[in-house]
């Protein structure tokens, strides 16, 4: 392998690992387990799962609802 090929492999590997810890995590906490698993092989699916609205009752939705409640509570004091 040439130097350029090593550079590309390392760069794409870093991008994949970064997506794994950010976009994949967001897909899973929004409740899209199937998209998260498929995304391990087709990473573009992670982006779809991260952009979709959170499923009802998912950890993400509960966290965001609680954050909104706290913000409203602080503003109405």
For residue 1, the model assigns a pLDDT of 81
Structural domain count, the chain: 1
Structural domain for 27, as ranges = 3-75
Determine the Cα–Cα distance for residues 77 and 54; give it in Å rounded to an integer: 29
Q: What is the dihedral of CA 38, 47, 21, 29, to 10 degrees?
A: -80
Q: What angle do CA 36, 41, 45 make, to 5 degrees?
A: 45
Encode pLDDT of 39-70 as tens digits. Answer: 989 888 999 999 999 999 999 999 999 999 99
Q: What is the mean pLDDT of the chain?
A: 92
| Residue 37 pLDDT exceeds 90 | yes
Q: Decide if 23 contacts 46 (C-beta within 8 A).
A: yes
Residue 40's pLDDT is 87
pLDDT at 19: 86
């Amino acid at each position: 392998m040439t130097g350029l090929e090593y550079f590309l492999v390392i760069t794409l590997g870093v991008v994949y690992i970064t997506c794994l810890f950010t976009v994949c995590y967001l897909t899973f906490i929004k409740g899209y387990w199937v998209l998260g698993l498929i995304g391990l092989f087709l990473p573009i699916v992670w982006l779809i799962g991260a952009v979709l609205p959170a499923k009802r009752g998912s950890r993400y939705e509960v966290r965001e609802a609680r954050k909104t409640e706290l913000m409203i509570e602080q503003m109405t004091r």
